[in-house]
């Protein structure tokens, strides 16, 4: 029996081979299911992963050992492992373990999810299918966000409110599950590279590939109507960094890159024309009262957060404990805040210097592995994936310099760890 | 970027197996925490329905499964307080509560013990300190009570309720000046207290002191506005002016709503001012804006409902009245809302303050009976007699569990 499962159309020669191929195929719905459930946070998938992990572990041990290739571990693998260990230590030393338990489970989930992809994402068809699923999810979520915005915008106009940027917290752009829009919108930044990868990957399917620009457009528009300065900076940074890297590594000509950016710019300009005023207000950065207050509040918060760090310098106060600890450390004891509004400060406050070291190492290992890969890899798809993933992860970090959404947002976290695994795997 | 050593896949597989085992352990712990959360959810529902003996079973199960969860432990204390007879209900803040019977004393002791344990787990919770302060006061430990109220304010200096409690405590001990200082701080933080039953009672008890206090708060806020120009101070000042009947309120509110149009309360106050000037159109517009910005503000919902009612927009009026009633009955306290984030709690006890009636006592007053009666009449007019009967009963306080917020 011969089943065409791969590009090479290799025949299935034995039941073991069939099992291996079947599990490779099954990885696609498994990963898509995890990402979809994470995006909507409908329920947790812990038991699901407890069942799936040993299945693939046995496959890797008993079936894949027949394969001649031996996966070589790299620094990204070690960095991921280090982060996992630090999360366990952080839980053990947490000042309030009931809260930290939630993130310990999540951190171990991400580690196993990483391993699952790292050792089993072996074929192009798997990548394309997973990226398609992410692009479709991104399209759906961003379209819903735009619809939600449009409804609220209509109501704002009817009530005579002039500048929509003042009311961005009301739009409910990405679900209304108790988290602020700003905490959840980061997932769209993480989704952004995947439709772009497919757009360039599906060169031969000329008509289909243009469909991939639909999720790019809706995601960019949804990000635009957040009227968040940090998101705007992140989007610009994404386009700039991706364009420069693509040009630097000669994946496309300067003309094509400029044309593509022009196309994105024109579409964005046309679509955002009806909401030009709040977009301009956002671009002014520090003009309105809200913008000034927001910046002042953040600066004050960053200073106050240092006090918490001083109390627990090595292992931090424990994951998810910042809101609990903050009240006891501020001088004024006036405001309730849920986070430090800075990714690195959040890690330092909750996981201490050890945590900062682990997450910094992860960041460094990811960028270094990606850079090596961009230089050395021959496959255009893999190089482009690395470039866009670097740009995406970079801008998520840029966005989180004034917010702390990565550690809260499960969907963004899952997609980022998928990127880590995809990059680590590619190099291997 | 490849590692200097070539790690065999088997080595990594062992790491994975260890991680998997650790994950299994963590998931097991997480499942226990979830199970505790389910018991806590049932506890919250039973508390809302005032079915305290069933609530006790649920909270004991939750604490047994998750003994380190400060929020659950405090819930146990809250329940014990609720199980004390009517002596700690609303309206008894200034009378001696020493005449507790044996069973009540047991509940007070159990509640104190629970809050002490909760504070050992999280010493930064202002609400726990505040509640323990009242419990110490009831059991005659005034020094400890003072200490607790001070710690509550230290943990959350923005809470007006804690300061009102501290003031009531001082007033109970005859320290009127200290009490007035606390009330003044509370009104500076939240001028909507001027519309509460607490302030109405205070004004009745000490009319001249109340007037002095309002004037002092206005002066303080005027200085703040001059120094900082902060729209939040402007909004507070406008509220104090509105209460005192001063016309400057209108200009300040217009300024505030221009500078920060996303604040709900200034629109409500502006609506009230327009209404006083018989400018119904602008009043309605302001109320609509206030409701859009904060759907859970029963004052705005009520005012908008009354406006629609006058315009004979019956279905809109019904919607607003219903929202107002539900918000009034079920809107959680500030500390309860925060608990959702601080303790990552999926379920919260909406009224987590001791004494039970304190929450409604310190919020802008709401005519529950009158609103229910009007809503019932509107439902009767539209032929919905079942709903009309329900709201009539609700207004009379005969619907089980409907009085949990007001201590009924």
pLDDT in tens, A143-202: 988 998 888 899 999 998 878 888 887 877 666 544 566 677 889 999 999 999 998 888
DSSP B121-178: H-TT-HHHHHHHHHHHHHTT-HHHHHHHHHHHHHH-TT-HHHHHHHHHHHHHTT-HHH
Q: Is A333 on the interface with B (CB under 8 A)?
A: yes
Residues 82-111 of A with CB under 8 A from B: 84, 88, 96-99, 101-102, 104-105, 108-109, 111
Query: Could A369 and B123 be called an inter-chain contact, meaning their C-beta atoms sit closer than 8 Å?
Result: no
pLDDT in tens, A122-148: 888 999 999 999 999 999 999 988 998
pLDDT in tens, A48-70: 999 999 999 888 878 776 454 55
Query: What does the pLDDT read at residue A335?
Result: 57
Give the 3-state secondary structure of residue B97. Answer: coil
Q: Is the pLDDT of residue A210 over 50?
A: yes
pLDDT in tens, B170-182: 998 889 899 999 9
Which CA distances in Å does A148 have to A143, A272, B293? Answer: 9, 15, 16
Query: Could B285 and A77 be called an inter-chain contact, meaning their C-beta atoms sit closer than 8 Å?
Result: no
pLDDT in tens, A22-47: 999 999 999 999 998 888 877 788 99
A322: closest CA of chain B, how far (Å): 8
Q: Which residue of B has its CA nearest to A152?
A: B292
pLDDT in tens, B211-232: 999 999 999 999 999 998 888 9
Q: Could you tell me the pLDDT band of residue A345, with boundaries at 50, 70 and 90?
A: very high
Partner residue facing B124 (CB), from A289, A325, A338 = A325
Where are the domains positioned within chain A? Answer: 75-427
Q: Is A160 on the interface with B (CB under 8 A)?
A: yes
Q: Which of B118, B230, B339, B342 to mutate to test the interface with A (most CBs of A within 10 A)?
A: B342
Q: Is the pLDDT of residue A346 over 60?
A: yes
Q: Is the pLDDT of residue B98 over 60?
A: no
Partner residue facing A289 (CB), from B16, B125, B260 = B260
CB-count burial class (<10 Å; 0-12, 13-18, 19+) for B234: buried
How far, in Å, CA of B131 to CA of A265, rounded?
57
Query: Could B2 and A72 be called an inter-chain contact, meaning their C-beta atoms sit closer than 8 Å?
Result: yes
Query: How many CB pairs below 8 Å do chains A and B form together?
Result: 153
Partner residue facing A71 (CB), from B9, B68, B125 = B9
Query: Could B10 and A166 be called an inter-chain contact, meaning their C-beta atoms sit closer than 8 Å?
Result: no
Supply the ipTM of this predicted assembly. 0.88
B196 beta partners: B364
pLDDT in tens, A228-238: 888 899 999 99
Q: Is the pLDDT of residue B406 over 60?
A: no
A67: closest CA of chain B, how far (Å): 12
pLDDT in tens, B352-389: 998 888 998 999 999 999 999 999 999 999 999 999 99
Q: Which residue of B has its CA nearest to A65?
A: B9
Which CA distances in Å does A90 have to A95, A320, A405? Answer: 9, 11, 19
Q: Which residue of A has its CA nearest to B284?
A: A159
Query: Which residues of chain A lie closer than 8 angstroms to B288, CB-CB?
Result: 159
Percent of chain A with pLDDT over 70: 90
A71: closest CA of chain B, how far (Å): 6
Query: What does the pLDDT read at residue A242?
Result: 92
Count CB atoms within 10 A of the CB of residue A380.
14
Q: Which of A82-86, A168-172, A402-406, B166-170 has the lowest mean pLDDT?
A: A168-172
Q: Is A248 on the interface with B (CB under 8 A)?
A: no
Query: What does the pLDDT read at residue B120?
Result: 96
CB A172 within 8 A of CB A148: yes
pLDDT in tens, B294-322: 988 999 999 999 999 999 999 999 999 99
How far, in Å, CA of B190 to CA of B182, rounded?
12
Our CA dihedral for A409, A392, A192, A250, rounded to 10 degrees, sits at: -170
Query: Token digits for A256?
Result: 């094509």
Query: Could B68 and A98 be called an inter-chain contact, meaning their C-beta atoms sit closer than 8 Å?
Result: yes
Query: Which residues of chain B lie closer than 8 angstroms to A84, CB-CB?
Result: 19
Q: What is the mean pLDDT of chain B?
A: 89
Percent of chain A with pLDDT over 90: 40
Query: Could A108 and B6 be called an inter-chain contact, meaning their C-beta atoms sit closer than 8 Å?
Result: no
Give the 3-state secondary structure of residue B205. Answer: helix
According to DSSP, residue B362 is labeled T
Query: What does the pLDDT read at residue A4?
Result: 40
Query: What does the pLDDT read at residue B93?
Result: 60
Q: Is A14 on the interface with B (CB under 8 A)?
A: no
- Reported pTM: 0.90
* pLDDT average, residue stretch A306-313: 85
């Amino acid at each position: 029996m011969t089943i065409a499962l791969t590009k090479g159309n290799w025949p299935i020669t034995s039941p073991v081979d069939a099992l291996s191929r079947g599990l490779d195929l099954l990885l696609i719905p498994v990963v898509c299911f995890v990402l979809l459930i994470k995006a909507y946070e409908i329920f947790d998938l812990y038991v699901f992963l407890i069942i799936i992990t040993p299945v693939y572990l046995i496959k890797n041990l008993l079936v894949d050992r027949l394969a001649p290739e031996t996966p070589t571990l790299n620094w990204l693998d070690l960095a991921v492992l280090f982060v996992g260990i630090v999360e366990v230590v952080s839980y053990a030393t947490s000042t309030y373990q009931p809260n930290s338990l939630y993130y310990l489970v999540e951190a171990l989930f991400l580690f196993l999810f990483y391993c699952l992809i790292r050792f089993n994402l072996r074929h192009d068809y798997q990548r394309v299918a997973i990226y398609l699923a992410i692009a479709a999810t991104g399209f759906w979520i961003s379209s819903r966000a735009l619809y939600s915005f449009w409804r609220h915008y209509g109501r704002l106009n009817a009530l005579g409110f002039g500048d929509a940027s003042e009311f961005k917290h009301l739009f409910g752009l990405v679900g209304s599950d108790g988290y602020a829009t700003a905490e959840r919108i980061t997932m769209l930044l993480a989704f952004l590279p995947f439709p772009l990868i497919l757009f360039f990957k599906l060169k031969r399917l000329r008509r289909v590939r243009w469909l991939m620009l639909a999720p790019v457009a809706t995601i960019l528009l949804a990000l635009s109507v957040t009227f968040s300065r940090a998101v705007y900076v992140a989007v610009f940074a994404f386009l700039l960094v991706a364009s420069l890297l693509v040009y630097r590594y000669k994946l496309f000509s300067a003309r094509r890159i400029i044309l593509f950016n022009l196309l994105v710019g024109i579409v964005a300009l046309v679509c955002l024309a009806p909401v030009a005023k709040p977009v301009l207000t956002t671009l002014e950065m520090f003009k309105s009262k809200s913008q000034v207050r927001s910046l002042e509040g953040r600066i004050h918060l960053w200073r106050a957060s240092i006090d918490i760090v001083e109390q627990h310098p090595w292992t931090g106060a424990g994951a998810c404990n910042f809101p609990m600890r903050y009240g006891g450390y501020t001088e004024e004891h006036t405001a309730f805040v849920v986070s430090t509004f800075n990714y690195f400060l959040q890690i330092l406050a909750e996981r201490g210097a050890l945590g900062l070291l682990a997450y910094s190492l992860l960041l460094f290992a990811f960028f270094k592995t990606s850079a090596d890969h961009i230089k050395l890899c021959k496959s255009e798809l893999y190089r482009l994936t690395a470039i866009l993933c670097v740009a995406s992860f970079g801008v998520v970090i840029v966005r989180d310099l004034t917010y702390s959404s990565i550690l809260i947002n499960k969907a963004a976290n899952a997609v980022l760890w998928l990127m880590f695994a995809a990059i680590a795997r590619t190099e291997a | 970027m490849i590692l200097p050593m070539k790690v065999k896949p088997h080595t990594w597989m062992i790491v994975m197996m260890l991680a998997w085992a650790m994950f299994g352990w963590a998931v097991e712990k997480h499942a226990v925490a979830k199970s505790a959360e389910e018991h806590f959810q049932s506890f919250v529902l039973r508390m809302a329905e005032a079915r305290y003996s069933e609530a006790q079973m649920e909270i004991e199960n939750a604490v047994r499964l998750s003994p380190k969860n400060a929020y659950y432990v405090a819930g146990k204390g809250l329940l014990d307080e609720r199980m004390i007879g009517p002596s700690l209900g609303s309206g008894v803040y200034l009378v001696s509560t020493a005449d507790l019977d044996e069973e009540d004393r047991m509940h007070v002791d159990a509640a104190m013990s629970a809050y002490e344990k909760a504070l050992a787990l999280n010493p930064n919770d202002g609400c726990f300190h505040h509640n323990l302060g009242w419990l110490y006061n009831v059991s005659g430990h005034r020094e400890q009570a003072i200490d607790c109220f001070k710690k509550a304010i230290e943990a959350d200096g923005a809470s007006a309720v804690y300061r009102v409690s501290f003031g009531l405590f001082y007033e109970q001990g005859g320290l009127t000046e200290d009490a007035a200082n606390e009330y003044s701080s509370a009104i500076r933080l939240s001028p909507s207290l001027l519309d509460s039953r607490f302030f109405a009672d205070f004004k009745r008890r000490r009319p001249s002191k109340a007037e002095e206090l309002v004037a002092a708060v206005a002066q303080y806020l005027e200085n703040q506005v001059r120094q900082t120009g902060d729209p939040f101070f402007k909004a507070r000042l406008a509220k104090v002016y509105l209460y005192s009947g001063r016309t400057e309120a209108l200009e300040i509110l217009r300024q505030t709503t221009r500078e920060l149009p996303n604040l709900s309360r200034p629109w409500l106050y502006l609506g009230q001012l327009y209404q006083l000037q018989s400018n119904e159109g602008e009043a309605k517009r302001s109320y609509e804006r206030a409701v859009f910005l904060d759907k859970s503000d029963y004052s705005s919902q009520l005012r908008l409902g009354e406006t629609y009612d006058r315009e004979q927009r019956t279905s809109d009026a019904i919607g607003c009245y219903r929202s107002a009633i539900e918000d009034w009955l079920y809107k959680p306290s500030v500390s309860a809302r925060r608990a959702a984030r601080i303790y990552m709690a999926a379920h919260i006890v909406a009224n987590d303050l001791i004494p039970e009636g304190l929450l409604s006592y310190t919020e802008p007053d709401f005519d529950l009976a009158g609103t229910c009666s009007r809503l019932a009449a509107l439902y009767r007019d539209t032929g919905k007699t079942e709903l009309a009967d329900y709201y009539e009963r609700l207004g009379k306080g005969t619907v089980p569990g409907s009085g949990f917020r007001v201590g009924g």
